[in-house]
Amino acid sequence: MMDYVNAFVSMLNGMSPYLLLGFLIAGLLHAFVPSSIYSRYLAGTGLRSVATAALFGIPLPLCSCGVLPTAVALRRSGASRAASTSFLIATPQTGVDSIAATYSMMGLPFAILRPVAALVTSLMGGLAVGHWERKGALDDVRDEANYEFSQLPRGLWNKIVETFKYGFFDMMQSIGRWLLIGLVVATLITVLLPDDFFSTYARWPLFNMFVIVLVAVPMYVCATGSIPIAAALMLKGMSPGCALVLLMAGPAANLASMFVVNKAFGRKATIVYLLSIIGGAMGFGVLVDYWPGLREVFTAALPCHVMHHHMATSWFTTACSVLLLGMIVVALGAKYWKSYQIKQNKTTAMKEFKVKGMMCAHCKANVEKGLAALPGVEKVTVDLAKGTALVEGSVPDQMIIDCIEDLGYQYEP
């Protein structure tokens, strides 16, 4: 039992100071940078708009579910499909929180290459979509009315409050569960798998990468939660190139995102989106494993080798770990308590709609705002924990269902 505890605490101590810093930066970006700026420069289909969209998206701490409504919103606000696709590919692969955590757990080479790989893959996908977009060769998709971005809080004090609320509460609700799952999975891998497990298959790194892509692309794993899993697998002999494939392909896509991209951008754009993610991940994985000397650099930089044998116990890292766990517990407790209150306060006048694809606070806010804007809606309450929307008012069910799907989610009867 102590082996599991020691492995979990070692990884948590290594990540927690950088995660807290990343969450703080995420809150500052949310509270001080106007969201409307993201659509102002993204109307073109060329390199400038595609690169701008990617550079905007890379530092944002949005997962592959949270980025979907944002990308759809950019599209409806005037951004091209090329720029929106670039944003959609780049954003979930990284974020200030995951970049900081990657450095803490996997070393500087991974922390540098991860955003670079996200930039390159997003440029590939965005430029390909832009080429077809200019030629009019993409599928026709329905464009709805412009989406209105929320306004920034006014006043310095309100911005500071929003910084901490978003960074250390909303973000904890969004990815706290996935972060804990990632740490638990990494702990099990570290303790249960023999140290030479992947060395048996080291002769076939391309086969390993292909298997990782097949498993990672359809499933959901956030950019931060994938880090301890990749680090633990490297400790068991998996090549750094395969670990990079997991870090890129896992957070960038899932089944829900494929469905939404197909609906919002068209079938051909969806194919480009998937090929860019898979091709980019495999390409950079091959580069890391086969470029002379590069594999050794990435392997040697993995600080987990030290953490695996010697638990970090400084007062600072311990305090950061306790603070991080406390914030996650408070945020998730509030989330499920809110779900309980919604259930208790539900009235017969409320219609309940099952919404598939809501994974984070961004999703909740988008569904609430979209449904509240419908004519005849008097009240909207979204239960993120149960994945439901309660709507009160004289509005046809079909209009509500259409709105849910137009926002990029799926209605489940």
Distance CA 51, CA 209 (A): 27
CB 411 within 8 A of CB 357: no
| pLDDT reported for residue 393 | 84
Per-residue pLDDT, averaged over 356-383, amounts to: 82
| pLDDT reported for residue 312 | 47
| pLDDT reported for residue 45 | 73
Per-residue pLDDT, averaged over 18-24, amounts to: 76
| Whether residue 408 has pLDDT greater than 80 | no
Directed axis angle between helix 205-216 and helix 267-290, to 10°?
Answer: 150
- Per cent of the chain over pLDDT 70 is 81
Q: CA geometry: angle at 189 spanning 311 and 67, to 5°?
A: 95
Indicate the range of 101-115, 227-241, 299-313, 326-340 predicted with least confidence. Answer: 299-313
Q: Which two tokens stand for residue 88?
A: 């959609």
| pLDDT reported for residue 119 | 92
Around Cβ 298, how many Cβ atoms within 10 Å? 22
pLDDT digits (tens, 9 = 90+) for 159-187: 899 889 888 888 788 777 777 887 788 77
Distance CA 191, CA 378 (A): 53
Per-residue pLDDT, averaged over 365-369, amounts to: 84
Per-residue pLDDT, averaged over 121-149, amounts to: 66
pLDDT digits (tens, 9 = 90+) for 59-90: 877 766 566 666 766 676 667 888 888 888 88
Distance CA 64, CA 248 (A): 11
DSSP string, 261-320: HHHHH-HHHHHHHHHHHHHHHHHHHHHHHHSTTHHHHHHHT-THHHHHHS----HHHHHH
pLDDT digits (tens, 9 = 90+) for 300-345: 877 654 444 444 457 888 898 899 999 989 988 888 887 777 777 7
Indicate the range of 17-31, 125-139, 187-201 predicted with least confidence. Answer: 187-201
| pLDDT reported for residue 113 | 92
| Whether residue 397 has pLDDT greater than 50 | yes
Indicate the range of 30-39, 170-179, 205-214, 340-349 predicted with least confidence. Answer: 30-39
| Whether residue 255 has pLDDT greater than 70 | no
| pLDDT reported for residue 283 | 92
| Whether residue 284 has pLDDT greater than 90 | yes
Indicate the range of 94-98, 301-305, 409-413 predicted with least confidence. Answer: 301-305
User: Per DSSP, what are the bridge partners of residue 381?
Assistant: 390
Contacts by 294-297, CB closer than 8 A, 24 or more apart: 295/239, 295/240, 295/241, 297/109
Tokens 């329905």 sit at which residue? 142
Per-residue pLDDT, averaged over 40-55, amounts to: 81
Q: Which two tokens stand for residue 169?
A: 């509460």
| pLDDT reported for residue 134 | 72
Per-residue pLDDT, averaged over 364-375, amounts to: 85
Q: Which two tokens stand for residue 262?
A: 């197909």
Q: Which of 273, 259, 274, 270 is nearest to 404 (CA)?
A: 259
What the chain holds in terms of domains, given with CATH numbers, is 2-324 (no CATH), 346-412 (3.30.70.100)
CB 216 within 8 A of CB 44: no
DSSP string, 28-91: HHHHHS-TTHHHHT----SHHHHHHHHHHHTTS---TTTHHHHHHHHHHTT--HHHHHHHHHHG
Residue 117's pLDDT band (boundaries 50, 70, 90)? very high
